[in-house]
C-alpha cells in the first residue's frame, strides 16, 4: 500500500531529536495530498506534531481549512492536541498504525479513529520509536 510506504519514508525525515511520527492526508481518489512529520524540536514549537504539520501544509497550499473530504493516516494514534486540530479542520476519519499508551481518551463522536492491523509495519514503527526513546534514557 502506497500510504504505508510514504508514512515509513517520512519517518526518516524526522530529526533525531524529534519523536519519529509521520502523517499523510488522502483525498477521495486515495491520493496523498499532504504530508507531515514531527518537527517539534527542530522548529522549537509545541504544536509541531506530524498530524498538525500535514493539516497546516494542506491548508496553506490550498487556502482552505475545511478538510472534511480528506482522511488522515498516521503512524501513531493522535494525541488530544492533534485531535483538536483534526476536529477544527473537520476531518472525519483517522487511521493509525500504532497505539499510543499515553493517549487513552474518548474520541469526539464526529471523528472515527481506526487502528490499522498490519503487524509488519507496526513492528517497524515500534522499533523506530524504541530506538528514539532508549536514546533519551
Give residue 1's pLDDT: 55
Cβ atoms of 86 and 93 within 8 Å: the answer is no
**Range of lowest pLDDT (35-44, 98-107, 126-135):** 98-107
Closest by CA to 96, choosing from 119, 79, 74, 80, is 74
Q: Is a pLDDT exceeding 90 seen at residue 18?
A: yes
Residue positions annotated with a catalytic role: 51
pLDDT tens column, 6-16: 999 999 999 99
Residue tagged 528514539 (cell numbers): 132
pLDDT tens column, 27-74: 999 999 999 999 999 999 999 999 999 999 999 999 999 999 999 999
Backbone conformation region of residue 90, classed left if phi is above 0, alpha if psi is from -120 to 50, else beta? left
Q: How confident is the model at residue 106 (pLDDT cuts 50, 70, 90)?
A: confident
Based on the number of CB atoms within 10 Å of its own CB, is 10 exposed (0-12), middle (13-18) or buried (19 or more)? buried
Amino acid at each position: 500500500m502506497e500510504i504505508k510506504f510514504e508514512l515509513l519514508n517520512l519517518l526518516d525525515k524526522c530529526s533525531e531529536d524529534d519523536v519519529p511520527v509521520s502523517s499523510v492526508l488522502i483525498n477521495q481518489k486515495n491520493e496523498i495530498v499532504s504530508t507531515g512529520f514531527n518537527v517539534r524540536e527542530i522548529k522549537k514549537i509545541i504544536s509541531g506534531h506530524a498530524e498538525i504539520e500535514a493539516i497546516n501544509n494542506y491548508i496553506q497550499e490550498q487556502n482552505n481549512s475545511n478538510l472534511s473530504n480528506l482522511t488522515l493516516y498516521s503512524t501513531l494514534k493522535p494525541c488530544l492536541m492533534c485531535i483538536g486540530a483534526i476536529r477544527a479542520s473537520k476531518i472525519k476519519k483517522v487511521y493509525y498504525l500504532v497505539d499510543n499508551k499515553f493517549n487513552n481518551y474518548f474520541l469526539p463522536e464526529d471523528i472515527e479513529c481506526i487502528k490499522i492491523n498490519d503487524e509488519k509495519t507496526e513492528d517497524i514503527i515500534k522499533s523506530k520509536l524504541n530506538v528514539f526513546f532508549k536514546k533519551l534514557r
